[in-house]
Amino acid sequence: MNEIRKDFPSLGQTNRDKPLVYLDSAATSLTPNQVIQSELEYYEKYRGSVHRSVYELGEKATNAFENSRKRIAKLIGASEKSIVFTKSATESINLVAESWGYNNLSKNDVVLLTDMEHHSNIIPWQMICKKTGAKIKYLKSSSDGTIDVDKFKNALDKNIKMVSITHASNVFGTINPVKEFVNLAHKNGSKIMLDGCQAIPHMKVSVEELGCDFYAFSGHKMLGPTGVGVLYGKEELLDKMEPYQTGGGIIKTVTMENSSWTSIPHKFEPGTPMIAQVIALSPAADYLENCLESHDNKLMEYAIEKMNSINGISIYGDAKDRTPILSFNIEGVHSLDLAHFLDFEGITIRSGHHCCQPLMQALDISACARASFYFYNTFSEVDFLVEKINKAIQVIK
Ligand SMILES: Cc1ncc(COP(=O)(O)O)c(C=O)c1O
């Protein structure tokens, strides 16, 4: 464990002059040296633009950029052509909603979402539904934070053209039975997109095995740099879609009146891309694959047991399959006050609606606290968290 922690320079830092206890990896993970060095190396050693320079440095940058695409394709069991680099999962979902949705949704069509979706997997669909006349239907999660397969099956009808659902919830931590969802959606004739933001950092994902049509995730939650996201799309679907944004680098020809597009995946990557970030995503994938089998689950079991001992605590979500996220409220203590209190003890947790206002409404709360763990967290950090929460309760109450 100490060896792993040494790879993360942030873990040696302080927060408000106290040793940092980082418990917000579901918002953004910390970054290992290997990723930081890779980004630095690009700026120091082969700074040049990609896909357009004939000089050596540009060629090196292009090779590193495209090698990263190969690496990410391998990480999720996809073909290179099906991997589009975006600036975030948010952009990936917007791309599908807008570009697929514009030509495939119309009045009477329905997009099926769930009440546990992140705003990034709600608002893009609201926007395209306004433009096309399609409607959104929401599937409600159960009180333990899960979505029952039969309930999902019963919600499907012939008007549902797209299902967009999170692979793992950023509030409950629930890992949804997405393979079953994909099979059922396809039997119904619907396309299905998975939001993999919270799943990719914690589990091996093969889009080929899942069979989903689209899969979105962000680099910064999986040990990678900020400013880079990934969209996987089935080649035959991406081929038929129009670019989401346009500009240089994506064209076959441009006349004064019209333009035609290059092939996938570059058709969806206009302008100078986030070169350093894409390149550094490759060592992030290497690091991640080596750590997937680490102690996430044991730490989570320990955290649940310890947190349950806190007086007045309500923990949201009780799924058997879950990522190491613990969302909770404590009677008489506002989550924001708790987060502020812990901040001054060096502990970083998140408080608020977690970009899930519809879920907060369904839970009948306005906000909650969330501690999220990763393989670089320790059992003693969990103990420290619980000790300081108990102290916060005494002080705030
Ligand atoms: C489940 C889920 N979906 C989507 C997003 C949006 O990711 P990003 O802000 O990196 O685009 C997040 C980020 O918190 C998330 O947790």
> What pLDDT shows up at residue 286?
98
Query: Does ligand 1 lie within 6 Å of residue 86's CB atom?
Result: no
Are both 104 and 145 inside the same structural domain?
yes
Look at ligand 1, atom 12, and give the residue with the nearest C-alpha: 197
Query: Does ligand 1 lie within 6 Å of residue 25's CB atom?
Result: no
> What pLDDT shows up at residue 61?
97
Are both 247 and 335 inside the same structural domain?
no
Query: Does ligand 1 lie within 6 Å of residue 90's CB atom?
Result: yes
Query: How close is the Cα of 354 to the center of ligand 1, in Å?
Result: 9
- pLDDT band for position 397 (cuts 50, 70, 90): confident
Are both 252 and 325 inside the same structural domain?
no
Predicted confidence (pLDDT) at residue 187 exceeds the cutoff of 70: yes
CATH number at residue 70: 3.40.640.10
Predicted confidence (pLDDT) at residue 295 exceeds the cutoff of 80: no
Are both 173 and 272 inside the same structural domain?
yes
- pLDDT band for position 292 (cuts 50, 70, 90): confident
Are both 284 and 328 inside the same structural domain?
no
Q: What domain range includes position 351?
A: 2-29+294-396
Are both 139 and 219 inside the same structural domain?
yes
Q: Which atom number of ligand 1 is nearest to the Cα of residue 92?
A: 11
Are both 166 and 245 inside the same structural domain?
yes
Query: Does ligand 1 lie within 6 Å of residue 198's CB atom?
Result: yes
- pLDDT band for position 296 (cuts 50, 70, 90): confident
Are both 198 and 234 inside the same structural domain?
yes
Could you say which of 243, 268, 289 is where a domain stops?
289
Catalytic site includes residue 212: no
Query: How close is the Cα of 253 to the center of ligand 1, in Å?
Result: 35
Are both 315 and 266 inside the same structural domain?
no
> What pLDDT shows up at residue 227?
98
CATH number at residue 345: 3.90.1150.10
Are both 190 and 59 inside the same structural domain?
yes
Contact partners, residue 190, CB within 8 Å, separation at least 6: 112, 156, 160, 161, 162, 163
Name the percent of the chain lying above pLDDT 90: 96
> What pLDDT shows up at residue 353?
97
Are both 102 and 213 inside the same structural domain?
yes
Helix or strand (DSSP H, E) at 315? strand 313-316
Count structural domains, the chain: 2
What distance, in Å, lies between the first and last C-alpha atoms of the chain?
36
- pLDDT band for position 1 (cuts 50, 70, 90): confident
Q: Which of 212, 355, 356, 368 is catalytic?
A: 355
Taking residues 254-259, what's their average pLDDT?
96
Angle at 174 between CA 364 and CA 349, to 5 degrees: 70
> What pLDDT shows up at residue 161?
98
Q: Which of 125, 166, 171, 198 to mutate to test the pocket of ligand 1 (most atoms within 8 A of CB)?
A: 198
Predicted confidence (pLDDT) at residue 132 exceeds the cutoff of 80: yes
Could you say which of 232, 256, 289 is where a domain stops?
289
- pLDDT band for position 294 (cuts 50, 70, 90): low
Q: Evaluate whether 249 touches 272 at the Cβ level (below 8 Å).
A: yes
Are both 144 and 215 inside the same structural domain?
yes
Could you say which of 268, 289, 310 is where a domain stops?
289
